Amino acid sequence: MPRVKSNGALEHNAMADLWKNTLSQIPTAYGRLTYLASLRDPNSGIYRHHGLAAMFGRDESSRALRQSHQQAFAEWLKLSIKQKKLDLTEYFAGLDDPVKVVVDHLLTSQIHRTQIPAYARRMERELYCCDLEVLLETIRGGLSEGASDPQSSRRE
């Protein structure tokens, strides 16, 4: 029997529910990627989402999250460098923290390296890191040029 959502929508599997009710609400490819990566336990690599697990069980939920993470990663890799920059700009615009603070943290912490799905190939990992690091440096460079205006980093 399909599970009934509070909004009346019926979903037959965790993957469909995840994309329809959660991931479709995240407007950027990078945002979806970071969200999904955040649901992976750093100690075990197991994906966890309480609501999805309550509806579909732990195994199906974890499988849907893992597959969605791989799909979001592939989606990001397929973007042109120009599209990636626009996507990052839109992602940063939706954050509460100043772009400069976020970009500096990403570059310093290298946290973006933990956003890669476990089953990504070495070449995909290298492409992701290289493109993202170049884009972050480019965005940071553009922010430095507008340093006289403290709000310029919020508008980038």
Compute the distance between CA of residue 27 and CA of residue 29 in angstroms, rounded to an integer.
7
pLDDT at 152: 45
pLDDT digits (tens, 9 = 90+) for 17-73: 999 989 999 999 999 999 999 999 999 999 999 999 999 999 999 999 999 999 999
Q: Phi/psi zone of residue 110: left (φ > 0), alpha (ψ -120 to 50 degrees), beta? A: left
Compute the distance between CA of residue 5 and CA of residue 128 in angstroms, rounded to an integer.
36
CA angle 82, 39, 105 (to 5 degrees): 50
What secondary structure letter does DSSP report for 68? H
Task: Name the amino acid, one letter, at 156.
Answer: E
What is the rounded average pLDDT of the residues 117-125?
Answer: 96
pLDDT digits (tens, 9 = 90+) for 62-93: 999 999 999 999 999 999 999 999 999 999 99
For the chain, give every domain's residue range.
Answer: 3-155
Compute the distance between CA of residue 51 and CA of residue 68 in angstroms, rounded to an integer.
16
pLDDT digits (tens, 9 = 90+) for 89-98: 999 999 999 9
- Greater pLDDT, 7 or 25: 25
Indicate the helix (H) or strand (E) that contains 4: strand 3-4
Contact status, residue 23 vs residue 72, Cβ threshold 8 Å = yes
What is the rounded average pLDDT of the residues 136-142?
Answer: 93
pLDDT at 144: 76
pLDDT at 154: 44
